[in-house]
Amino acid sequence: MAPAPILVRSARCAWQWQWRQLMGGLAPADAAGNYRRPEGVFTSPPPPPPDAAEPGAHVLIVGRSCPWAHRAWLVWSLRQLGGSISLQVAEPDPEAGRWRFRQPFLGCDSLQELYRLCGAPAGVRATVPVLVSPRRGEVLVGESARLIELLNRWPSPVDCDLDPAAQQELSQAWRQRLQHAVNDGVYRCGFARNQRAYDRAEAALFATLTEAEQQLGDNEATSPWLSGTQPSLADVQLFPTLIRLELVYAPLFGVSRLPLNQLPALWRWRSRFHALPGVADTCWPDAWRQDYFGALFPLHPSGIVPAGPPLATLVGDPPAPGAP
């Protein structure tokens, strides 16, 4: 027998109240229901220090599932900085809501402990990525947009400038748009508190992707990257979001109105970027899906991790017109 309507209404009201309480802890919002990412710390990076080129003098801490960490990981990989900056992968601890280390790092079991050790105020969220100097016991920078700029200035054994002078103006314009409408935009869709907030974020997301599609499509033969002939920090910023689109964001955050196979120039761009040396090694689709579907309880209470398309099908040739 189906439950009585009054029980259904009561259960719905109770769940919606609980959902709002849980979302308040997971993802703060403003009075209009728009998700607002909390401010971080360690946001003002110094120039590369004198010991920048010394092996093991610095450590980049990332998480496999975090797209903000992914962008720093990409610059580290593309510029082959492993000789001077060691990579430390933190693991999510969804029960405690924090990042933890498999082995203690500077005597710390979690990233939160490391933040406190390095002078962060109590109560501040500890997030990846962070660039750390173990010998000085300090965090150089923990804000991803500034961190990738610092890593692009870091001494590198290869000729790889991700902010070429001729592309800086257009690259910066794209980075500003992408940060709000796309990188943070998928979260503003998924964490919206009401329909209007979702509609605003979803419209901005696909308007920006459509504009990128048009620019890439019009100039692909001569300028295959977002800001010109070379990959730039703008491309680095876009890739972690688009590589997760079908695997995580579309099913979990409700951003499936315009699948990427309907944006063929962006699809080809994503495939080109994935083919760059070292990029594939930064991609962990199983970890992405496990951490998002398994950890974001308010959005996915069952914790069941659904099947998704193999990554290889998303970075090859785009589907033929009319293909599913």
∠ at Cα 161 (211, 50), nearest 5°?
135
Digit-coded pLDDT (tens) for 270-323? 999 999 999 999 999 999 999 999 888 888 888 999 999 999 999 988 766 555
Name the percent of the chain lying above pLDDT 70: 91
Rounded-to-integer distance, Cα 37 and Cα 27, Å: 7
For 58-153, which CATH superfamily applies? Glutaredoxin (3.40.30.10)
CA distances in angstroms from 127 to 61, 197, 248, listed in the order given: 10, 25, 20
pLDDT at 99: 96
Q: Is the peptide bond before 129 cis (omega within 30 degrees of 0)?
A: yes
- Indicate the fold that domain 165-314 takes in CATH: Glutathione S-transferase Yfyf (Class Pi); Chain A, domain 2 (1.20.1050)
Rounded-to-integer distance, Cα 137 and Cα 27, Å: 30
Name the percent of the chain lying above pLDDT 90: 77
Digit-coded pLDDT (tens) for 108-151? 999 999 999 998 888 788 999 999 999 999 999 999 999 999 99
Neighbour count for residue 297 (Cβ, 10 Å):
13
Domain range summary for the chain, segments of one domain joined by +: 58-153, 165-314
Burial class (CB in 10 A: 0-12, 13-18, 19+), 267: buried
pLDDT at 5: 75
Digit-coded pLDDT (tens) for 222-280? 999 999 999 999 999 999 999 999 999 999 999 999 999 999 999 999 999 999 999 99
Rounded-to-integer distance, Cα 315 and Cα 229, Å: 20
